[in-house]
Every structure is written in structure tokens, then in C-alpha cells.
Structure 1
Amino acid sequence: MNFKKDSLYAHPVESPEGFQFDSAVTAVFPDMIQRSVPGYRSIISAIGLLAGRFAQANSLCYDLGCSLGAATLAMRHQIEAHDCRIIAVDNSEAMIERFKKILANDTSPIEVETRCEDIRDTRLENASVVVLNFTLQFIPIEDRSEFLRNIYQALLPGGILILSEKLKFDDPRQQQLQTEMHHAFKKAQGYSDLEISQKRTALENVLIPETFSCHQQRLLKAGFNSAEVWFQYFNFASIIALK
């Protein structure tokens, strides 16, 4: 399936609107996320491997905030557990409709159910794997604790939550360095200073990052036995939380 190169913020606008996962973003999303998130391909690949390790027979695996289903497809091609299904959820109709077309051309026998709804409203149950791949950061901070508790309660014993997030840092020098290196990464991917600046403005108050310690404390408080970073590239990290 053909996708366009991301040039959504290539031209000056007086006041960039708040970022939305609309049809314009959907049309360029694979290019956008790979050029914006350091290590994205590695994270997706590892999600598939982790799902293959933790998926249990007769259980459900959830991809919450699935966008175009990259994590779902990675899981689909690694899961071998008997009668294990994937539920992929996103509140963007444009993303879900495009993902359905991608899914139709995929050959894995693992069943996938797609849902267009707010992931906070998704009924979670009988889960062995839950993926939040750069999703929690778009949920209001005040809703995050309850949301993670619901995930924990839905997970079977031995289940796993894979949580990938953009991080912020308590130390001002670290924050500045990590931000500068992320910008350097995006420039190396071909984005201009204008594109970087305008997208940052569009994401302000839409994507709210937190520190790793904040994520870890929240996960442990939700009930998880452990929560540790398994991957980090500048200010982007992925956490494994075990039940």
C-alpha cells in the first residue's frame, strides 16, 4: 500500500493547529513515525518477539492505540499460542479504515479484531499481552493511573505490558541534551528546522511526556511486579511491565 512522504509541516502557517490523527496524518504516518521516533523499527520488531514469548493459549492480545497496526502485524507473525486473538483499537476512524485494508493483504492466520473507539472505553479481559506503543502520552495525565490499573486487572498471571513513550527528564541539562539530540535525529532524517518547530507547536498540550520514574512508580502502584526500560534511544524509551 502506497503512503506519501511526510511534508505536513513543510510550509509556514501562522498558528499550527493541535495535532490530530486525521486523514492527512494517516496518509503519511509510516514515513512520519519512522523519521520522528528513533529506534521505531527495532521497537516494533521486539514487540513481535515479546508477544511470541508471552502470548498464552486461549487468550487475547491488545494493541491499544494501534494506528496503522504495525505492532499488531509484528505480533501476528510471531504468535504461535493456540487460539490466541489480537484486538487492535484506535479512536481514529481514518487509521482504522486504512489498517483494515492493510490487514486484508496480510497472510497470517492469527485472528485480528479492529475497533474504532477510545481505548479508555475498551473492555479489557483475559489478556496475556497488552501493547501501548506511544499511546499513553496522548491520554490525559489524570486518567493514566486508572487506565493502567484496568490493564493490570485484565492481564492473566505471567502477562506483559509493553509501554513505549517519549520521556522527559528532571535534570534540565539532560532535558536540553535529549531534546537537542532528538532534533538532530529528525534533521538527519530530512526534516527542516521549520518542520520540527511547527510540529512541536502542534503537539504541545496534546502529547504530554513524563519521566521514567513517574511511569515506573505508576506501574508498580497499579500492581505490576516490575517495570524496567528494555530500550532507549535519546528521549524515546520502551518499558516492560510484568504481572
Structure 2
Amino acid sequence: MKKPGEVFEDSRVYDPGIEAIVPRYDELHDAILNAPPQGRSEDIHVLELGAGTGELTAKLLTRFPESSVLAVDHSERMLAEAERKLETFGDRVQIEQGTFPDDHPSGESKFDLVISSLAVHHLTSDEKQTLFSNIHEALVPGGWFFNGDVVRFDADHLETLSDAMIKNWVRSKGWEEEEFMNRWQASDDYDDPDTLTDQLVWLREAGFDSVTSIWQYYNFAVYGGRKSE
């Protein structure tokens, strides 16, 4: 049985496939990685929730040479691909199967940075609020949380506009729409995006300050906040 986030039956085609359906995928990742205040020479302990195949993990470990990452995902298939991709980073990365907010973050470790990409939108509104509170607890004072994800528009016509934009993006990547949709295995039943405004409010309620949206393209956004020092 597929799990949320297992967009394709074969995890080996996830990376090229997700780039075909998420507009400006690399730009979304860059927004997440450009946002932390840490320098390249600083030791930073990072928790990544919903690491998938390890694409963002690899980019972070490369950009921050002194970083270490606990990469968490619930999909065995995705983590198998991540292990292959991240092998070169040795003991700087720890890969763990688990869910959030149930398993992670736990109270055992403190992190300088928590990141997530295209995963939190699978949670219900209540689960998102619980997760934000748990992340705040797991951060060291001055630590940051950044999430790049799908958000929902309140206005129906903007949702329609976003759907049309994604279909145009798919075609621009050289995929025949019918062919692509035949390969596409995700179910809307797994998706529960909330508005960006609501999520910024929930971050404030969880105790974060400096809450902000950093980047947005239609219904994809990067946002986050800081735990006060």
C-alpha cells in the first residue's frame, strides 16, 4: 500500500518526476537553504522531516560542510533511495524511519535547525499545530524552522489558476499530460493543505517569533520562524 508522499510507485523516478510537477522545485529548495542565519563554518545540528529520497538533505550537507542531519521519513522505499544517495556523507547523516508529529521531534535531542519540504501538507490542521509546537520544543534557543510546502488558497478561482499553472508546467517539461497523469500515483485523499495565513498564525501560537513567509509561487510557499533566545 502506498503511503502519503509516495508519489510514484518506483521511488527511483521520484526526483525527475517531482521536478516535473512542482514548479521551481530547485528554487523552493534554495529558499529553504538560504534562509538559515548560520554560516558555512558553523556546526549545525539539523532535523529534516519528510526527507524522502534525500535530495534536500544532500543539498544541505553540501552547502553547510559542518552540518549533521537526522533525516526522517516514514517510507521504506524512499529511505532506501536516500541511503544510496547520501552514502557519500558518511556519519554526518543519520537516516531514521518514523512519522511526525507522532515519532518526531522527540524530546531527546535539540536542533539548531528543523526543515521540511513537501511533507507537512499531508497532516490535518490539528496535526500541523501539534507539530509546530513539538518543533518549537525541539529547537535550541535561537533555532529556526523552515518549511517549503503546498498551501491552499481561500479563493476558489486561485485554486483553479494554480491547477492550470501546474498542468502547463508539466507540459513545459516535455511530459504529455495524459502520459504523466497515468504515471502519477498520488491521491488527493492524502493531501490536506491549509492556508499560508493560518499556518503563520499557528507558528506564532506555538511560540515562534520572526514568523515570516520567505518565498511563494502560486500555491507553493516557504515559511518559518525562530525560537527566541
Out of 74, 77, 80, the position equivalent to 1:91 is 74
- Contact 1:86 1:110 survives alignment (8 Å): no
Gaps in structure 2 of 5+ consecutive residues = none
* 8 Å contact from structure 2 (residues 31, 222) kept in 1: no
Q: Does 1:229 align with 2:210?
A: no
Count of aligned pairs: 223
CA displacement at 1:85 relative to structure 2: 2.1
What is the one-letter code of the residue matched to 2:128?
R
Q: 1:18 to 1:156 in 2, by over 3 A?
A: closer
Q: Deviations over 1:201-225 (max 9, x none)?
A: 8421211111111111111111111
Structure 2 counterpart SS, 1:119: coil
The CA RMSD over aligned residues, in Å, is 2.7
- The within-5 A match list for 1:109-124 is 111-120=92-101, 121-122=103-104, 123=106
Aligned-residue identity in percent: 22
When structure 1 is superposed on structure 2, of 129-138 and 168-177 the one drifting more is 168-177
Aligned CA distance change for structure 1 residues 41 and 58 (closer, same or farther; 3 Å): closer
Q: How does 1:54-203 map to 2 (within 5 A)?
A: 60-81=45-66, 84-104=67-87, 106=88, 108=89, 111-120=92-101, 121-122=103-104, 123=106, 125-195=109-179, 202-203=186-187
Q: Contact 1:187 / 1:193 at 8 angstroms: preserved in 2?
A: yes
CA distance in 2, matches of 1:232, 1:161: 17
Question: What is the CA-CA distance between 1:141 and the residue it aligns to?
Answer: 3.0
Q: Which amino acid aligns with 2:138?
A: A
Q: Which amino acid aligns with 2:23?
A: P
Q: Which amino acid aligns with 1:42?
A: E
Q: 1:198 to 1:140 in 2, by over 3 A?
A: farther
Instruction: Supply the distance in 1 between the matched residues of 2:207 and 2:68 (Cα, whole angstroms).
Output: 25
- Report the Cα offset of residue 117 of structure 1: 1.4
Partners of 2:191 and 2:54 in 1: how far apart?
Answer: 20
User: Deviations 1:115-169 (Å, cap 9, x if unpaired)?
Assistant: 0111320225311111111110112333111111000111112211111111211
Shift in CA distance, 129/197, structure 1 to aligned 2, threshold 3 Å: same
